[in-house]
Chains A and B, each alone.
Chain A
């Protein structure tokens, strides 16, 4: 019997997986998917920042549009740390597409034009 905590949403259902790969404990279908994914190929949402040239917004917050493979988190961080945003962006703008060949885009979660927002 394997015990997991679902991380898809803040509820954090306690999931159990038995020897026959039967999954119980999820309050919604996303939890079921999470359990499968976590046991085969764990993925995580990545939220971080990237550097900009703007003095009043030296860092821009970004997120992965979908979860990325957990084992690539630090590699993705390394790649993102090389970036410098030089043009103004808005929420939702793609900052990097297909980060680290995962097929997942990194998008801005804030606009760089902050004054009096």
Chain B
């Protein structure tokens, strides 16, 4: 099969939801997955906390994925397993260079593409943590995979850098499996992870959390022997005299996730420096017609429920693009960022194609209690809602109904303290 209508790259949470919502008798859809099974990162996230919004139940990662996998198996979507997409190019349609042991190297043509390729972990090298380069330093997600899927601990005395959820979850997991976790360091003065995880992953096991600290030295020739952490000042510079040394054989890094958009290299794609991924409109389409992005490949999410929502939308919009495209000329207006908004997805709105509610997904720059989220157009507040609690670590959303737009001028998103 060399020609399809829609190619979805990635069979994790985003790709699964996109595939399900794009299903249509008139469309040939293929879902391309590099692993032997669907589910993506959910397969190794054996902990709870998924699905509260989607299913009103709390599920583990594999259970959450299974709900979508089962639904998809009832549809006629072709799935290519153990297949890696090497490159995408666009001429009249999209040409995907794909490779698998079963079919070898092939070109696949598609009229539309949804990129749902997830994200990868920021590495020690990218963060240039100084010291030696022994064995024993790895991203927390890699250690999670070795432990949960293959059944091996990567070390016995662990220190974790980064208090995001992956780091906290691994602190608990390694401890339960018999390792000693000596501490978690977090460069910010607050933890990025869910508060519940601070309780059930750190407090429960008496694992100390060192806020405003980072790793400033690594020691060990062939195998990690010791790490040094130091307190940092407001400019993130280490403060002399605050060194704390830990004898460990493993340093797990939970220092950030980066959208995997390597496949954009062959395309004239415009990328946003804040989200490190493509600019998209309210239909999750990039500046390249027919190319959609969703999930962690578009921007890093903290709840998989929102990833599924976004994937669902990408599927719907891709379907509409293929079956009943809008022929109106585009009128793209940027969404302006106001107070406290770090970024918003989508980045712009096609004002000539506003027939459905527009979901603005955004992150704020600091923790806030009691705030108004407002959308402003032509100096008027066209939509607003109150929120009791907002945090940078928790993605927020604001929905605008088409009738709320009063013109075709740019809108602005702001967050205001309620005084």
Contact = CB atoms under 8 A, between A and B. Distances in A.
A joins B in a complex: yes
B62 interface: yes
A115 B79 CA distance: 12
B151 A44 contact: no
Contact of A10 (B43, B46, B303): B303
A59 B44 CA distance: 10
Contact of A117 (B38, B176, B200): B38
A42 to B, nearest CB: 9
Interface residues of B, number: 35
Contacts of B66: 91, 110-111
Contacts of A83: none
A80 to B, nearest CB: 10
A24 interface: no
B209 to A, nearest CB: 13
Interface in A1-45: 5-10, 12, 14, 44-45
A51 B39 CA distance: 21
B63 to A, nearest CB: 5
A52 to B, nearest CB: 9
Secondary structure class of chain A's binding surface, majority of residues = loop
Given A44-B204, A63-B60, A91-B66, A9 B176 contact: no
Contact of B177 (A5, A6, A77): A77
Given A109-B60, A117-B69, A10 B194 contact: yes
Contact of A59 (B52, B61, B148): B148
Interface residues of A, number: 32
B195 A12 contact: yes
Contacts of B61: 61
B134 interface: no
A102 interface: no
Contact of B150 (A7, A59, A115): A59
A58 B151 contact: yes
A51 B195 CA distance: 31
Contacts of A56: 36
Contact of A47 (B43, B48, B196): B48
A115 B46 contact: no
Given A110-B66, A114-B36, A117-B38, A49 B151 contact: yes
7 contacts: A10-B52, A59-B150, A91-B63, A109-B59, A110-B62, A110-B63, A117-B69
Interface of A: 5-10, 12, 14, 44-49, 51, 56, 58-59, 61, 63, 70, 73-74, 77, 91, 109-111, 114-117
